[in-house]
A and B are shown apart, each in its own frame.
Chain A
Amino acid sequence: MPEFQVGDITLEIDEDGFIQEPDAWDEAVAKALAKTEGVDELTEEHWKLVNYLRDYYLEFGIAPMIRKLCKATGFKLKKVYELFPSGPAKGACKVAGLPKPTGCV
């Protein structure tokens, strides 16, 4: 399995670049993962989205519907795609340390 280096920490990632150990996630990891998704700087808005995804995942064990994400953060759908150009499923979930979404994505 490939690895991903953040500072002194080495994390296992899957072949699509999603981290395998959600517990190993922290801010530094998020920042490093964001770079792989073409997001060079995580703004307050990015964090709002990332934190929501993460909290939801920790509570329910799955990624939330985009509807829930938009409702909770108050972001328009378009805004989500502006923040994470590769979309909520791949871009935002990856940065938030979630596993790769299942199914046709």
Chain B
Amino acid sequence: MKKSTAEDSRSHKAQVVVDRLGEKLNRQIVGSLVACVHCGLCTDSCHYVLSNPGDPTYAPAYKADRIRKIFKRHYDWTGRVFPWLVGAETIMTDEELEELKDIAFGKCTNCRRCSLNCPMGVDFATVNRMTRGLLVSVGIMPEGVATVSKDQWEIGNQMGVLKEDYLETLEWMEEELQDELDDPSARIPVDKRDCAVVYSINPREAKYDPRTIGDAAKIFHAAGEDWTMPSDGWDMTNFGLFSGDDELGGAVARHLFDRVQELGGKKLVISECGHGYRSTRCEAPNWAKYDVPFEMESSVETMLRYVKEGRIKLDKTRNSEPVTFHDSCNLARSCGMTEEPRELLNLVCTDFREMYPNREENYCCTGGGGAMSMSEYTPRRLKSGKIKAEQLKATGAKVVVTSCHNCVDGLTDVIRHYELDMKVTQLVNLVAEALVIEKPARAPAVAEELPLAGRRIVVADDEPDQLLYLATVMEDYGATVYQAATGDEALELARKEKPDLVTLDLSMPGRPVTEIFELLRSDSELEGLKICLITGRPEMRELIYQRMEIPPDGYLDKPLSEDDLLRGVRKVLELSHQEG
């Protein structure tokens, strides 16, 4: 084809964008690009427009026209025949691409509210995502999008969380949970094979706010679920959705899908994240060209299922503040998940109030489409939150619940900016709060059965750490412990408390321990007292065993594990002098 002089002077990047646009065209895109009749219905459906009345550049039809004109000029016959009539226009410079970036990333969150309200079926959000993808393919994108995409490509999760840090965080949450429930069987199993549920999360949960991981683990534990978290491929978020880069989208999802397959998981459960759910469940099988052989569900569905199946019990009076629900665009509008969260909310709190409009007609949190990682547009984003703030305020609720991490941050910013008295939380937090965990009835019985229950022991050691360790272990097993830092203190305590046992470190400051030992043995009031030597210098034992008195009832060598200590002490206590 003969090229005009104008095309010769087109910048390289602009040429690539024009060419690649042709490759991106499919029925949905072309339909959306040709069908617009500029009726204006989309205008009133966009939260940017509603919060910025009088600025036509926010209108979805106007924004769409910026890419539509290129399509018409290069790929539609109408634009070739009478370009002036259909507004066909090419793109020549990098500056024009920057302008396109400002619209595609900075003036639309891809929330799809306009798509839903278009009588012609124009899906502007999909066109906008394609535009983003074209720009990203020539390296034009907000810095935040570039950073996050790079981390997802290179490290495998969008916050660059390293494997050991992730695993340590899971361990930590497991310990906290065990403490909270006083139940060592409450676990966060990692890489367990053939589980009913493989649980995937958003990296921000691990990096900054793991409370949701702990809460989810608590719920799985209470439900008696056979579940696991993968040590790798655990990030269910997908910046490919935001950047329009299908290759990234496919690579990220494949990582996750492969891992579930390797582990033989029956079902992939996706924590409360709008874009993560939409990407993983709905879009990624296409991006990755992957035939997913297992089921996938949102943790919202999982939690609701547990209640319905009677696997968990909830006490909703624990969540008594007025609560409203913010539908995430990706969950409600794009995936149709509108009723499950409401059903669960009514089971988990006492005062649930709808926000209007709601469900698939809800307004964007302002943080969609990756907007939270594009600081350059923050003032615009906050200004566009006016409609959201009004909507939130009208509910009179104190708590807004949302099943999306992006929405959590978007709403938090709106609440702060518009000074609303509200806090944001997720369903998993409410469910964990309301969870009724019946304490096993055996708990008090166990206390009585502790191996050292009722035993009174004087522990003497001059090393504070050692003393604390020995005392703590014995106390944990039920003993009453008196601590002494010198031999004289041990003697005094023994005379005063009449214990069952004195443990003596052999090298303590002050009077020699051999002498203390002698005094303990010769005290008529301490007949039957058991004495155990605990020393890190076994050669010193001779000093005592060579003496005339009845030898010690036993000895233990440091360092001592908890088990060895317990076994040793019990042995000493349970043997008589004669046998010793």
Interface residues of A (CB under 8 A from B): 14-16, 18, 62-63, 65-68, 70, 77, 86-89, 100-105
| Count, chain B residues at interface, CB 8 A | 36
**A contact residues around B172 at 8 Å (CB):** 67, 70
Q: Are B165 and A103 in contact (CB under 8 A)?
A: no
Q: Are B208 and A88 in contact (CB under 8 A)?
A: yes
Q: Are A87 and B208 in contact (CB under 8 A)?
A: yes
Q: For the A-B complex with A67-B172, A89-B207, A102-B373 known, give 15 more contacts whose Cβ atoms are closer than 8 Å.
A: A15-B378, A16-B375, A16-B378, A63-B207, A65-B206, A67-B165, A67-B168, A77-B176, A77-B211, A101-B208, A102-B147, A102-B158, A103-B158, A104-B203, A104-B406
Decide yes or no whether B160 CB sits under 8 A from chain A.
yes
Contact with A along B142-171 (1 / 0, CB 8 A): 001001100100000011110001001100
Given A65-B207, A66-B208, A67-B210, verify A104-B373 contact (CB < 8 Å). Answer: yes
Interface residues of B (CB under 8 A from A): 144, 147-148, 151, 158-161, 165, 168-169, 172, 176, 202-204, 206-211, 237, 273, 372-373, 375-379, 405-406, 409, 412, 416
For A37, the closest partner residue in chain B by CB is B416
29 pairs, CB–CB < 8 Å, chain A vs chain B: A14-B375, A14-B378, A15-B375, A15-B376, A15-B378, A15-B379, A62-B160, A65-B169, A66-B208, A66-B209, A66-B210, A67-B172, A70-B172, A77-B211, A86-B412, A100-B375, A101-B207, A101-B208, A102-B148, A102-B373, A103-B158, A103-B373, A104-B202, A104-B237, A104-B405, A104-B406, A105-B204, A105-B372, A105-B373
For B152, the closest partner residue in chain A by CB is A103
Most buried by A among B147, B159, B237: B159
Given the complex of chains A and B, what is the CA–CA distance between A2 and B273 in angstroms? Answer: 32
Given the complex of chains A and B, what is the CA–CA distance between A99 and B440 in angstroms? Answer: 48
Q: Are A68 and B165 in contact (CB under 8 A)?
A: yes
Given the complex of chains A and B, what is the CA–CA distance between A62 and B147 in angstroms? Answer: 12
**B contact residues around A77 at 8 Å (CB):** 176, 210-211
Contacts between chains A and B (CB distance < 8 A), count: 81
Q: Are B375 and A104 in contact (CB under 8 A)?
A: no
- The majority secondary structure among interface residues of chain A is loop
For A67, the closest partner residue in chain B by CB is B169
Given the complex of chains A and B, what is the CA–CA distance between A62 and B151 in angstroms? Answer: 13
For A85, the closest partner residue in chain B by CB is B423
**A contact residues around B209 at 8 Å (CB):** 66, 87-89
Given the complex of chains A and B, what is the CA–CA distance between A104 and B209 in angstroms? Answer: 12
